[in-house]
Amino acid sequence: MIETVLPWLVKIAIVMGTVLTACAFLIYVERKLSAYMQDRMGPNRVGPFGLLQSLADGLKFILKEDVIPRHCDRFLFLLAPALAVLTTMLAFAVVPFGPTSENPDEWQFVIAPNIDIGIVFVFAVGSLAVYSIILGGWSSNNKYSMLGALRASAQVISYEIPLATSVLGVVLLTSSLNLEDIIHFQADNGFWYWNVWTQPLAALIFMTSALAEANRMPFDLPECEQELIGGYHTEYSAMKFAMFFLGEYTHVITISFLVSVLFLGGWHFPWIAEPASNYSAAWAVKVGVLAAKVAMLIIFIMLIRWTIPRFRFDQLMGLAWKGLVPLSFFNLVLVLFVKQFNWPLWIVTVGSLLLLIGAAALNGMLVQRRLRAPVIHPATPALGPS
């Protein structure tokens, strides 16, 4: 019994330790990256090059006074930040972080291998993260927090649809919901069969929707400081606020892993990380390839935060319902036709690009028409007696 459970416990400890350490380091990286983009220095006092700044911030959160307002719902107030971390960490149970095998005697670089509904599990667990925001906003008994919770619920419900629909095309082509099978399908067919080449529109929709679900800029309307002071976590302090922060960064890591697995071939890379690679330490190279892809995606997400300004809420909803939802359904229908009639996959690539160009052209025409429309000002009321 112990011999059976021990590998799982080791994997869980390794994954949790790595993710928590990565979150602390990523905070430092983002602060340095934003400082570089804004011509500032960034953290440079605590430790060499400021490397211990995240550790100092963590100690500050632990030692800071833990304030719980009297007017809040105490149980739900404490439950919300715990849910924020729990739901994002659970997704790593089925996400592979290296090569896997059907042989149960070999070491599997995934906590729960061969889960046939892996992507469904990730979506189910990931969608629960919004409950932490809603409970945090509602239990705070604060108007600003409640507005942030309402925004989060509308945002997640809207972007869940294109998020799931964009992945359906990948599931149809690979004929599997297993994340490991999706990686093997791309690796067995080669570099040009990575889903980012065969379904570029689906990759773009998935990335955009996932950023919206993670409340990252430019979709951070639930915690918009300029409008809501801090949104759903306005009343939180000390470690409870840190847990919300940790949940957001863990979600970013999860997004990067999913994009790498679903669209970028996972651990596969031509010549150095192939399915038939059996040289010494090939497993380490494959783990390194996947980690490099995840790191590049995380840096890209950070660059987006400091490049694109925040949307208005009506623009946020319009992008989902008028843009991403129709495009994701058109892309799904295109994949259905290709799969049904056994057409070559380059038709999906060309069709995806045409859909994207057509949507951009249509949006440009609508914007031009709106700009050319005459502006009708309301009549100015007369001053004084008529």
What's the gap between Cα 61 and its chain centre?
25
Whether 46 shows a pLDDT value over 70: the answer reads yes
Q: What local confidence, expressed as pLDDT, does residue 296 receive?
A: 93
pLDDT of residue 318: 86
Q: Where are the domains of the chain?
A: 1-63, 67-100+109-275+282-370
Q: Can you give the pLDDT at residue 379?
A: 60
pLDDT at 146: 84
- What is the band of 228 on the pLDDT scale with cuts at 50, 70, 90? confident
More confident: 261 or 72: 261
Least confident of 283-287, 297-301, 365-369, 373-377: 373-377
What is the average pLDDT across 256-282? 86
Most confident of 4-13, 215-224, 305-314: 305-314
pLDDT tens for 201-222 read 999 999 999 888 887 878 877 7
| pLDDT at residue 104 in the model | 63
Q: Which of 4-18, 111-125, 244-258, 371-385 has the lowest mean pLDDT?
A: 371-385
Residue 380 confidence (pLDDT): 57
Q: Enter the pTM of the model.
A: 0.87
pLDDT digits (tens, 9 = 90+) for 328-367: 999 999 999 988 888 888 888 888 888 888 888 887 887 7
**What percent of the chain clears pLDDT 90, i.e. is strictly above it?**
9
Most confident segment among 186-195, 236-245, 367-376 = 186-195
Write out pLDDT tens, residues 151-174: 888 888 888 889 999 999 899 888
Work out the pLDDT band at 377, boundaries 50, 70, 90.
Answer: low
